[in-house]
Amino acid sequence: MPPMQPETVQRLLALNATFYQAHAASFASTRRRPQPGVEWVLERVDPSACVLDLGCGHGLVAERLAERGHIGRYAGVDSSQHLLELARLNVQQPRFSFDHRDLARPGWAFGLPSPFTVVLMFAVLHHLPGDALRQRVVSDLAGLLSEGGRVEVSVWSFLESERLRRRVLPWDRLGLEAREVDPGDFLLDWRQGEYGMRYVHHFTSDELAALAGGAGLKVSAERYSDGESGRLGLYQTWARAA
């Protein structure tokens, strides 16, 4: 299948950027504690590790690390100024920083205080349209890893939920046709107090692992977690390939 057209990529990015600015408060209100899969990962982060949190949102992971006595450097990155403002209010630790950066823009990693022992990327990749963009971002983050470092990534397996499947919208709601997007791409509505729409890509395990492989990383662990079924989130740990 030919790659997604650049104008379609930009349209989907703009949709999500608008969503996370306009609905920052209502989104944060639905994310008051980390998912079980995230907690499982954070329990295994050394307190002295240098951590990069991509898509840090309103600081939920940072807050949990602070509660666990994290003494290492932490850098949170997000494209939503409104969510970052909430993060800075929620977490005020001297070795924690929050930076406005857009992963979809080339050069987003420039100037970050790398290398990092652990890169966290929870619920981010599924909002990046097109395999080329996702592969570029994963290759960029691989370059920020320290020797022996690892990436902890999660994506939303929303098709496991009948309730969430009912929230899928036709592409014509955005003025697009299904042929203009990739297999596995979906448009979902948002009903938490305010109405909105988001672009989400549904990953298979092999598809996610292929992104790691394209950046010289390998899957060292995988698990499903979250939600009533325990399968609403797909988690993988990536390390450098031998």
Per-residue model confidence as pLDDT tens digits over 36-91: 999 999 999 999 999 999 999 889 999 999 999 999 999 999 998 888 998 999 89
**Cα–Cα dist 11/20, whole Å:** 15
**pLDDT score of 11 more than 60:** yes
**pLDDT score of 94 more than 80:** yes
Q: What is the mean pLDDT of the chain?
A: 91
Q: Would you place residue 29 in the very low, low, confident or very high pLDDT band (cuts 50, 70, 90)?
A: low
Q: Tell me, yes or no, whether 198 lies in a domain.
A: yes
Phi-psi label, residue 186: left if phi above 0, alpha if psi -120 to 50, beta otherwise: beta
Span 6-29, average pLDDT: 81
From residue 14, give the alpha-carbon distance in Å to each of 9, 140, 149, 155, 194. 9, 21, 32, 20, 18
Among the listed residues 99, 95, 100, the one whose alpha carbon sits nearest the alpha carbon of residue 50: 95
Q: Tell me, yes or no, whether 92 lies in a domain.
A: yes
**pLDDT score of 33 more than 80:** no
Q: Tell me, yes or no, whether 1 lies in a domain.
A: no
**pLDDT score of 97 more than 90:** yes
High-pLDDT (> 90) share of the chain, %: 76
Among the listed residues 237, 238, 231, 174, the one whose alpha carbon sits nearest the alpha carbon of residue 202: 231
Under 8 Å between Cβ of 205 and 155: no
**Full domain range(s) for residue 191:** 6-240
CA dihedral 46, 37, 90, 197 (to 10 degrees): 140
pLDDT of residue 2: 82
Span 94-101, average pLDDT: 94
pLDDT of residue 196: 81
- Is the overall model pTM greater than 0.85, yes or no? yes
Under 8 Å between Cβ of 40 and 224: no
**Cα–Cα dist 55/121, whole Å:** 7
Q: Tell me, yes or no, whether 114 lies in a domain.
A: yes
Q: Tell me, yes or no, whether 72 lies in a domain.
A: yes
pLDDT, tens only, 110-131:
999 989 999 999 999 999 999 9
Residue 226, both tokens: 């979250």
pLDDT of residue 26: 59
Domain CATH number, residue 137: 3.40.50.150
CA dihedral 55, 193, 190, 56 (to 10 degrees): 0
**pLDDT score of 28 more than 60:** no
> How many separate domains does the chain show?
1
Q: How many CB atoms lie within 10 A of CB 34?
A: 18
User: Among the residues of the chain, which ranges form H helices?
Assistant: 6-22, 24-29, 36-42, 60-67, 81-90, 131-142, 162-165, 205-214
pLDDT, tens only, 175-216:
999 999 999 999 998 776 677 899 999 999 999 999 999 999
Q: Would you place residue 241 in the very low, low, confident or very high pLDDT band (cuts 50, 70, 90)?
A: confident
Q: Tell me, yes or no, whether 49 lies in a domain.
A: yes
Strand partners, 185: 201
Helix axes 60-67, 81-90, angle to 10 degrees: 20
